């Protein structure tokens, strides 16, 4: 099998095994260039996931949050309580919001932990820097004192005149 065929099969396998769908992986699986696939998707207005667009997790969550907020505002502005299926639309939206809130909690916890770690690392770095400066200061003081008192290091004393 050629390198291109092997790469295509590797991409197909990755997709089947649950790897994130990206333009690069799909293009490889289909045997077309990424640029061609992206142009086709734009031209035909494909609905492309945030992962395939290369969005980060926080960007995807923000995008989902915005969509849910728009839906909630539409329901609020036009409460079609008497229309068939209105209860289901509200219920579906409620379920989506609850799921999103759980995702926010997890993400916020991760972000807060990351922020605490960064702060902790910065504090440790500052402490180590201050300790280093103090050690250098003490070493200079000791060296000056030894020179002033005529003290020689042990190796120099042992060598003798």
Percent of the chain with pLDDT over 90: 9
CB 52 within 8 A of CB 26: yes
End-to-end distance of the chain based on CA atoms, in angstroms?
81
Region 11-40: mean pLDDT is 89
> What single string gives the DSSP state of each residue in 60-116?
HHHHHHHHHHHHHHHHHHS--TTSTTHHHHHHHHHHHHHHHHHHHHHHHHHHHHHHH
* C-alpha span between 133 and 127 (Å, rounded): 10
For residue 82, pLDDT beyond 60:
no
Q: Cβ–Cβ contacts within 10 Å for residue 29, how many?
A: 20
pLDDT (tens digit, 9 = 90+) per residue, 54-75? Answer: 777 778 878 877 887 787 777 7
Each residue's pLDDT tens digit, 115-124: 778 877 887 8
pTM tops 0.85, yes or no: no
Average pLDDT over residues 32-44: 92
Q: Could you give the CA distance from residue 58 to residue 103 in angstroms, rounded to a whole number?
A: 10
pLDDT in tens, 2-18: 777 888 899 888 888 88
From the list 52, 45, 47, the residue with the least C-alpha distance to 26 is 52
Q: Mean of the pLDDT values across residues 80-84?
A: 61
Instruction: Tell me the C-alpha to C-alpha distance, in Å, between residue 70 and each of 45, 48, 93.
Output: 21, 19, 11
């Amino acid at each position: 099998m050629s390198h291109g065929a092997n790469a295509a099969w590797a991409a197909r396998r990755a997709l089947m095994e649950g790897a994130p769908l990206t333009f690069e992986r799909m293009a490889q699986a289909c045997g077309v260039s990424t640029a061609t696939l992206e142009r086709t998707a734009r031209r035909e207005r494909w609905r492309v996931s945030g992962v395939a667009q290369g969005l980060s997790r926080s960007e995807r969550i923000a995008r989902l949050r915005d969509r849910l907020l728009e839906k909630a505002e539409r329901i609020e502005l036009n409460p079609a309580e008497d229309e068939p299926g209105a209860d289901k639309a509200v219920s579906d939206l409620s379920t989506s919001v609850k799921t999103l809130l759980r995702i926010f909690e997890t993400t916020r916890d991760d972000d807060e932990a990351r922020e605490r770690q960064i702060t902790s690392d910065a504090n440790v770095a500052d402490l180590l820097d201050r300790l280093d400066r103090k050690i250098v200061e003490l070493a200079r003081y000791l060296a000056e004192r030894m020179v002033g008192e005529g003290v020689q290091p042990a190796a120099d004393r042992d060598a003798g005149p």
